[in-house]
């Protein structure tokens, strides 16, 4: 790549990378006070997501490291492809609510599969205002998991 | 899927790795990527300035792993395998 005189932004780095990967995409970016989001859109972007989102995570790690090198104060950078993360969050919330219903109807605690800290936070948040159940985590990473019990 | 870019795919992966490494280090002129071609796979050897080795490896090897993941994804798209070696 020829050196280009311009600011390194999360969006510009993602654009460079997907171009080098020869992927046809459209890229949008938006930000709030805490995070800068870069959304990648297009067909057949499964390879950019990878198994369990692993390629997407690698992309986000690299973009974050590259941007922070020149702008250390940059907010958290979140890269998403075809709303993959958002869809996964939604599924996780729905799953958490189904399990909460089950805990309520059976009056028994339910132990979920081990999850990453981020996934656990999504579940805890989903159940925070859910009447009649409480959620807490037990065990140590990477085996740490949520237990949903009738309050 | 048919590709109209049957030639030069290796260059894409090489260029991708070179771009990432140059963007990560303090001394981009010290970045050099050599491609060793195999039939179905390509070995990409990355050399950087000795002071920059830590930058392309990262804490717990996380950056090196992320570069490998992305380069491999790019190779998979072309039906190939790519191996990234960091030459110390």
pLDDT for the residue A7: 79
pLDDT for the residue A3: 52
pLDDT tens per residue across span B17-67: 999 999 999 999 999 999 998 888 999 999 999 999 999 999 999 999 999
List of E strands, chain A = 26-31, 35-41, 76-81, 110-114, 133-138, 145-150
Would the pLDDT of B77 be above 60? yes
Could you tell me the CA-to-CA distances from A88 to A97, A112, A118, B87 in Å, in that order? 14, 16, 12, 38
Residues in B touching A25 (Cβ below 8 Å) = none
Residues in A touching B58 (Cβ below 8 Å) = 65
pLDDT for the residue A1: 53
Closest residue to B73, CB basis, from A8, A16, A47: A47
Cis peptide, bond prior to residue A142, ω within 30 of zero = yes
Selected residue of A7, A42, A53, A65 to mutate for chain B interface (largest B Cβ count, 10 A): A65
| Per-residue model confidence as pLDDT tens for chain A (151 residues) | 555 556 799 999 999 999 999 999 999 999 999 999 999 999 889 999 999 899 999 999 999 999 999 889 899 999 999 999 999 999 999 999 999 999 999 999 999 999 989 899 999 999 998 989 999 999 998 899 999 999 8
CA dihedral (B48, B49, B55, B61) in degrees, to 10, reads 50
Residues in A touching B46 (Cβ below 8 Å) = none
Estimate the crossing angle of helix A10-20 against helix B9-24, to 10 degrees.
160
Residues in B touching A55 (Cβ below 8 Å) = 69-70, 73
What value of ipTM does the predicted structure carry?
0.88
Residue corresponding to tokens 């490896």? B57
Would the pLDDT of B11 be above 70? no
Contact criterion met (CB below 8 Å) for A37 and A80: yes
Selected residue of A12, A17, A62, A81 to mutate for chain B interface (largest B Cβ count, 10 A): A62
């Amino acid at each position: 790549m020829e050196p280009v005189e311009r600011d390194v932004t999360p969006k510009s780095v993602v654009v460079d990378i997907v171009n080098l990967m020869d992927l046809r995409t459209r890229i949008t970016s938006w930000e709030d006070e805490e995070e800068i989001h870069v959304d990648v859109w297009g067909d057949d972007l499964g390879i950019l997501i990878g198994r369990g989102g692993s390629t997407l995570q690698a992309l986000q790690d690299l973009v974050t490291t590259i941007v922070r090198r020149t702008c250390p104060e940059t907010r958290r950078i979140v890269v998403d492809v075809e709303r993959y993360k958002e869809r996964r969050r939604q599924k996780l919330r729905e799953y958490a609510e189904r399990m909460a219903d089950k805990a309520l109807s059976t009056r028994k605690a339910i132990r979920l599969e081990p999850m990453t800290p981020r996934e656990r936070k999504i579940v805890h948040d989903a159940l925070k205002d859910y009447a009649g159940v409480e959620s807490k985590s037990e065990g140590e990473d990477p085996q740490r998991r949520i237990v949903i019990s009738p309050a | 899927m048919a590709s109209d870019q049957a030639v030069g795919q290796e260059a894409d992966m090489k260029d991708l790795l070179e771009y990432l490494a140059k963007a990560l280090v303090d001394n981009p002129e010290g970045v050099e990527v050599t491609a060793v071609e195999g039939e179905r796979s390509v070995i990409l050897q990355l050399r950087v300035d000795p002071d920059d080795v830590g930058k392309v490896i990262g804490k717990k090897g996380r950056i090196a792993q992320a570069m490998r993941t992305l380069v491999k994804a790019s190779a998979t798209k072309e039906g190939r395998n790519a191996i990234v070696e960091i030459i110390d």
